[in-house]
Amino acid sequence: DSGVTQTPKHLITATGQRVTLRCSPRSGDLSVYWYQQSLDQGLQFLIQYYNGEERAKGNILERFSAQQFPDLHSELNLSSLELGDSALYFCASSVAEREETQYFGPGTRLLVL
Amino acid sequence: AQKITQTQPGMFVQEKEAVTLDCTYDTSDPSYGLFWYKQPSSGEMIFLIYQGSYDQQNATEGRYSLNFQKARKSANLVISASQLGDSAMYFCAMREVYNQGGKLIFGQGTELSVKP
């Protein structure tokens, strides 16, 4: 158990819908990262927050947004869902902004029908 | 440009033998970190080992060691005395310290199967 929690574990929804994925980092970690794992794209970095502020953006679609709250938990919002958004979404956390090991949560498996 | 390359999509190893999983990387950043993660069939990503670009010695963590050859830009994972529970996908990843943020760039992974 990495200490990072993610809810829900599984999510099945329809195209056009909107979902919210939630992540709680390890106690003491200030950085939260979101990654998407799909068969065709592999593991891709989406976005990073550090202590409530956005720090880096990767290949995140405009339909996707994220935030980190004062209690350091983070949410990833996916809207206008398409079939191709079906993937495993990971949250990871680390103590610092750049140089620490990232520990991953168990992931949320999203299926868009 | 692909920055992390894992050339072995799948590998087999006999239980109790050692196995090496290959990883090459490309970066112009003078300071970077290299990581290996394990992903069992259950899906979670488990951190195994880390090597910093300025570390003089190869990293070791129990049965895992990282064969770091900086000039060749390779960071191979060596698993000694393989166990059935080592069957999983293994991902090599890199973080460029001076790149924005701390994002990890992953390779495509190697699926390891341990035979009894």
> Per-residue pLDDT for A1 more than 60?
yes
Tell me what the mean pLDDT of segment A78-85 comes to: 97
Instruction: Give the mean pLDDT of A18-35.
Output: 96
How confident is the model over B67-94, as pLDDT tens digits?
Answer: 999 999 999 999 999 999 999 999 999 9
pLDDT of residue B1: 57
Residue B54 sits at the chain A interface (C-beta within 8 Å): no
pLDDT by residue (tens digit) across B21-76?
A: 999 999 988 889 999 999 999 999 999 999 999 998 999 999 999 999 999 999 99
* Three-state secondary structure call for residue A85: helix
Choose, out of A43, A44, A60, A93, the residue to mutate when testing the contact with B (most B CBs < 10 Å).
Answer: A43
- Is B92 in contact with B77 (CB distance < 8 Å)? yes
The confidence score (pLDDT) of residue A99 equals 67
| pLDDT of B2 over the 70 cut | no
**Residues of chain A with C-beta less than 8 angstroms from the C-beta of B101:** 48, 50, 55-56, 97-98
Mean pLDDT, rounded, for A47-75: 95
pLDDT at position A52 is 95
Q: If we measure between CA atoms, which residue out of A66, A74, A76, A80 comes closest to residue A18?
A: A80
B47 vs A58, A101, A107: nearest CB: A101
CA-based nearest distance A110→chain B, Å: 13
Report whether A44 contacts A91 (CB < 8 A).
no
Q: How many CA atoms lie within 13 A of B24 on its CB side?
A: 8
- Please say whether the dihedral angle defined by the alpha carbons of residues A106, A107, A109 and B1, taken in this order, is positive or negative: negative
Name which of B44, B95, B99, B108 to mutate to probe chain A: the one with the most chain A Cβ atoms within 10 A of its Cβ. B44
Q: Work out the average pLDDT over A52-56.
A: 93
Q: Using the beta-carbon criterion (under 8 Å), do A42 and B47 form an inter-chain contact? A: no
